Amino acid sequence: MSDNVVKLHYDIDAEDFTTAGEASSGVKKTLTRLGVNPEVIKRVSIAMYEAEINAVIHANGGVADVEITPERVTVVISDRGPGIPNVDKAMTPGWSTASNTVRELGFGAGMGLPNMKRYTDEMYVESEVGVGTKVTLIVNIVS
């Protein structure tokens, strides 16, 4: 089935906040082109966009690797940022360490990770303080 697998790679640039979201936008376009169910597309788009924004505002950017198979969409976003000291706490709706500057940009509501969890079928957060964070988001196309 390897010919049915689409793999995408994006560098998430943090230097220009205005371009944040381009990777998620690209994935949304690809999923639309592939004719994936619109509800699945929306769930992947929102979850990936939240993760992409997190990489920009907390970790000075990172990389996104996306794998699309007929069964599922897997998004892995990795950064070399400061890491998350307490992942359980970060999963609490409303919990945020974002600065006022980030809030002025419209983020830092403390809903990023909870939103990612809500819209995915599986979510894994691997994080080490001082090393970085890897977030894996999986949305099933066929349940």
Interface residues with other proteins (CB under 8 A)?
Answer: 17-18, 20-21, 24-25, 28, 38, 42, 45-46, 49-50, 53, 103, 105-112, 114-115, 118
Q: Are 27 and 75 in contact (CB under 8 A)?
A: yes
For the CB of residue 123, give the shortest distance to other proteins in the complex, in Å: 14
For the CB of residue 131, give the shortest distance to other proteins in the complex, in Å: 25
For the CB of residue 115, give the shortest distance to other proteins in the complex, in Å: 5
- Please give the radius of gyration of the chain, using alpha carbons only, rounded to the nearest integer: 15
Helix, strand, coil % over all residues of the chain, rounded to 5 = 40, 25, 35
Question: Which CB sits closer to other proteins, 27 or 138?
Answer: 27
For the CB of residue 49, give the shortest distance to other proteins in the complex, in Å: 5
Q: Considering only CA atoms, which of 107, 125, 118, 131 is closest in space to residue 56?
A: 107
Question: Which CB sits closer to other proteins, 48 or 141?
Answer: 48
Question: Which CB sits closer to other proteins, 122 or 128?
Answer: 122
- Distance, CA of 61 to CA of 82 (rounded, Å): 11
SS3 38: helix
Question: Which CB sits closer to other proteins, 45 or 78?
Answer: 45
Give the residue carrying structure tokens 């909870």.
Answer: 114
